[in-house]
Amino acid sequence: MKVPLSWLKDYVDVTLPAAELARRITLAGFEVAEIITTGGSWENIIVGRITAVNPHPNADRLRLATVDLGQRQETVVCGAPNLNVGDKIAFAHSGAQLVNPYNGQMEELKPAKIRGVVSRGMICSEKELGISESHEGILVLKPEVEIGRPLVEYLGDSVLDIDVTANRPDCLSVVGIAHETAALCGRKMHIPEIACEESGEPLEGRITIEISAPDLCPRYCASLITGVTITDSPAWLQERLVACGQRPINNIVDITNYVMLEYGQPLHSFDYDRLKGHKIMVRRAAGGEKFYTLDEVERELTGDMLVIGDGERTVAIAGVMGGLNSEVTGSTTNILLEAASFKATSIHYTSRRLGLTSEASTRFERGISAGLTIPALRHATQLIAELGGGKIARGIIDVYPGKKDPALIPLTAAKVRRVLGVGFSQEQIVDTLESLGFDCRGDGAGIKVTAPYWRSDINQDVDIIEEVARINGYDKIPMTLLAEPVPPQRTEPIIGLKRKIRRGLAGHGFQEIMSYTLTGLDMLSNLAAPARPPEPLPARVVNPMTADQEYLRCSLRAGLLTTLANNRRYEEGGIRLFELGRIYLPTGESLPAEPEVLCGIMSGPRAERSWLGGDGTFDFHDAKGAIESLLGQLDVNVTFEKSLDAGLHPARQAAVVVQGGERRETIGIIGEVHPAVAAAFEVTGTVGLFEINLMALLPFAAGEKTYRAVPRFPGSYRDIALVVDAGVTHRQILDIISSYPLITGAELFDVYSGKPVAPGKKSLAYRLVYQSTTHTLTDAEVNNVQEQLLERMARELGAILRS
């Protein structure tokens, strides 16, 4: 809402500088986005009067104008056609900043010799002053301005561009902002008396108004002005509209716009003679009905939209836009003026469905008070009669089926303190509220408050308490830190687990990434080899903006592989990435499941590039090592089992399985990304991957730690190398070793096949730790156990001790 200070001053005496007023209004809830100043650059421009106009001695089209500037006279060369002796004009001295009408730039005016005549100064056009685009002639000022005074005193203005919050449609108006200003500056409002002289024939019998949808139209008021001449509006009205960012059209349209800007109440003017049957029917539209709005677009209406009809057809979409079939034209003489109140949600619905917003609809959809209709209608009617030369029919019509008694809201100083935490006396509260136009009546211990008729946002005591707070200023509120005891903290365990895992992985050299949760079906399909859409299909948004953000992700892999490919363009070293976030799995009727999932990938050289060297690239075993280490930190013991994941290398993958008491659960998967999948994401080389469902992990990770005493007696170390069939797994060997309680550790330190090991065989070398909790083991004891162990290895696995 653009509010010119010059207009605001019609209703309230503002003496504050524009910037300070803007600051106060901003703090009180309406952010002043910009202060547009007219005349801020008008130094060296003063009022002058033309005392003589003479021909230029050397040029036909140019003339010499002598200007009285009060203290002295100046003669300047001028090309404008409208030089008239006696006119008061804006005179710019050399040094003034003016707009160059040919390139729109601000330039400094310099003395010049034009065709042999020296000219020190200039008579300005509106364009040169930056007021408008007009450059057809010089700006002629009103006769009453004083010669020699700075121009800014007469034409300077500041326009506040105010963001009005959705709850205050009353402030989409100059009067609304004036009420705020009055309260914020401690001034009284003075709204000029509306002199709406009803001198014409009675209105009764000349129009019938019926509201058949009172649920959507609580009030409909109308006046009739006859014998009107459609013409241009006077300059003062046009200037105000322009200052507020509106284009003048003709006197009738301009007046309805002007009064809407003044009071915030949209008005609509009908050509009375084009209303069939001289009837107004406020009703729901017929479904499928076609209608041409004022912007010459054909609209299809539905049965739940509110329209204004005449005796035969629709003539306006209520609160949104009028129709071509009843609009005021150059030949209109009789005007029916409408000021109505419509249900906010209905106007919002219609405007949204039709994709049509207007100054009227943006006001109505915020819920304008029905109380504004009559003052706005009377002022507009008065102006039409004044500026259009018509007669006002007697008796304004006011159909008000939604009339309600104003609410009396009880309030006490204690209640105000209870919310704000600062004490205001009842007197202070009443003063504040009255300055905003509220009515307060003493009522025993407290007061009963009635909101002023223009306010539609006051429904309960907290609404009034906010008024007290914002007008007195939020800086009056002290600062305290919650005095009550801290509530018990029962944070969901998943939140702590996520923190541990993120820190663990960062410590392992993984960089965390975050990708968009909306993705394309292509991306998700490419995660399988061969590519195919996930089953079941992931959750889809109805109104995607682009195809690559149509589905909620059901895997974190796509984001990671994309990130890997993107970063590979400039990063040659090893890349370890992880994302910990949600995936979204449809559940049918209910909200999707949103498990937190961890996914990590590692690709490129295993060792950081260094002058110290390093070798190998990341593969399956790195992914496994990362997950073993991470889960080890969480004291979760896992085993790895064969798995079948279409996105991973078929021979290089394993399911991560946890066994905890009776429970046994697959919590994730590790492997190498399938080469076809990697290729689809433009990733080259081996990519190790791990993926853990944190919801599945959580029950195992939340357990208590189990303490075991640190060994008191030294251990004995024995190295053994076993030759077994290539198909025998480390796991099988480990299972046998771990059945001997005296062996407390078995570290695999070498895996070898090739000569001299026989073909089809492999050698596994272990360092075994023998240790007792009760005494230092003798060689004999150790040898005894190891013999049993080797014997069993030979029997069960065909293992031979390699010498």
Partner 1 sequence: MLEKIETIKLEALLNLEAIDSARDLESWRVQHLGKKSPLTQILRGLAGLSIEERKAAGAAANELKRLLEESSARKGQAIRAKEMAAEAGKESIDISLPGRPYPAGRLHPITQTIEEICDIFVSLGFQVVEGPDVEWDYYNFEALNIPAEHPARDSMSSYWVDTPAGDRGKQMLRTHGTAISARVVEKMRPPIRTIEPARVYRYEATDATHLNIYHNIDGLAVDRGITMADLKGVLFEFVRRYFGENRKIRFRTDFFPFVEPGGEIAIDCGVCHGSGCRVCKDSGWLEILGCGMTHPEVLRRGGIDPEEYTSFAFGMGLERLPMLRYGIEDIRHFYNNDLRFLRQF
Stretch 607-636 residues interacting with partner 1 (CB under 8 A): 607-612, 614
Residue with smaller CB distance to partner 1, 122 or 469: 469
φ and ψ at residue 717, rounded to 5 degrees = -110, 130
Length of the chain measured in residues: 803
Binding mask 402-421 for partner 1 (x = CB under 8 A): ---------------xxxxx
Least Cβ distance, residue 551 to partner 1 (angstroms) = 10
Interacting positions 100-139 with partner 1 (CB under 8 A): none
Helix (H, G, I), strand (E, B) or coil at 127: helix
Return d(Cα 392, Cα 232) in angstroms, integer: 20
Alpha-carbon radius of gyration of the chain:
42
Interacting positions 232-291 with partner 1 (CB under 8 A): none
Closest CA to 39 of 160, 159, 158, 156: 156
What are residue 410's DSSP bridge partners?
448
What are residue 261's DSSP bridge partners?
none
- Regarding 305 and contact with partner 1 (CB under 8 A), the answer is no
Return d(Cα 308, Cα 323) in angstroms, integer: 10
The correct pick among 465, 669, 782, 799 for binding partner 1 (CB under 8 A) is: 465
Least Cβ distance, residue 649 to partner 1 (angstroms) = 24
Closest CA to 72 of 110, 120, 112, 114: 120
Least Cβ distance, residue 413 to partner 1 (angstroms) = 14
Least Cβ distance, residue 495 to partner 1 (angstroms) = 5
According to DSSP, the β-strands at 208-211 and 279-284 are parallel
φ and ψ at residue 259, rounded to 5 degrees = -70, -30
The correct pick among 60, 483, 642, 705 for binding partner 1 (CB under 8 A) is: 483
- Regarding 466 and contact with partner 1 (CB under 8 A), the answer is yes
Residue with smaller CB distance to partner 1, 492 or 535: 492
Helix (H, G, I), strand (E, B) or coil at 13: coil
Least Cβ distance, residue 461 to partner 1 (angstroms) = 9
Residue with smaller CB distance to partner 1, 248 or 688: 688
- Regarding 518 and contact with partner 1 (CB under 8 A), the answer is yes
Return d(Cα 390, Cα 227) in angstroms, integer: 5
Interacting positions 590-609 with partner 1 (CB under 8 A): 590-592, 594, 607-609
Interacting positions 30-89 with partner 1 (CB under 8 A): 31, 33-34
Interacting positions 309-368 with partner 1 (CB under 8 A): 344-346, 348-349, 352, 365-366
Residue with smaller CB distance to partner 1, 570 or 707: 570
Residue type, 230: I
Least Cβ distance, residue 478 to partner 1 (angstroms) = 5
Closest CA to 169 of 450, 458, 465, 457: 457
Residue with smaller CB distance to partner 1, 514 or 801: 514
Closest CA to 271 of 335, 366, 222, 227: 335
Return d(Cα 415, Cα 26) in angstroms, integer: 26
Return d(Cα 438, Cα 432) in angstroms, integer: 9
What are the structure tokens assigned to 395, written together? Answer: 């008796």
Least Cβ distance, residue 585 to partner 1 (angstroms) = 10
The correct pick among 283, 455, 470, 649 for binding partner 1 (CB under 8 A) is: 470
Residue with smaller CB distance to partner 1, 477 or 751: 477
Return d(Cα 158, Cα 139) in angstroms, integer: 20
What ranges make up the beta strands (E) of 444-490?
446-450
- Regarding 469 and contact with partner 1 (CB under 8 A), the answer is yes
Residue with smaller CB distance to partner 1, 144 or 572: 572
Return d(Cα 222, Cα 214) in angstroms, integer: 16
Residue with smaller CB distance to partner 1, 421 or 754: 421
What are the structure tokens assigned to 212, written together? Answer: 């058949």
Least Cβ distance, residue 680 to partner 1 (angstroms) = 18
Residue with smaller CB distance to partner 1, 31 or 431: 31
Total number of residues that touch partner 1 (CB under 8 A): 102
Return d(Cα 402, Cα 656) in angstroms, integer: 68
The correct pick among 480, 706, 774, 803 for binding partner 1 (CB under 8 A) is: 480
Residue with smaller CB distance to partner 1, 56 or 508: 508
Return d(Cα 529, Cα 680) in angstroms, integer: 9
Interacting positions 528-557 with partner 1 (CB under 8 A): 539-545, 549, 552
Least Cβ distance, residue 479 to partner 1 (angstroms) = 4
The correct pick among 105, 331, 489, 774 for binding partner 1 (CB under 8 A) is: 489
Helices 730-737/779-797 angle, 10° precision: 140
Q: Which stretch binds partner 1 (CB under 8 A): 40-48, 456-464, 526-534, 707-715?
A: 456-464
Residue with smaller CB distance to partner 1, 463 or 781: 463
Least Cβ distance, residue 507 to partner 1 (angstroms) = 7
Closest CA to 466 of 165, 182, 175, 16: 165
The correct pick among 94, 97, 167, 333 for binding partner 1 (CB under 8 A) is: 167
Q: Contact 802/722 with Cβ under 8 angstroms? A: yes
Least Cβ distance, residue 180 to partner 1 (angstroms) = 11
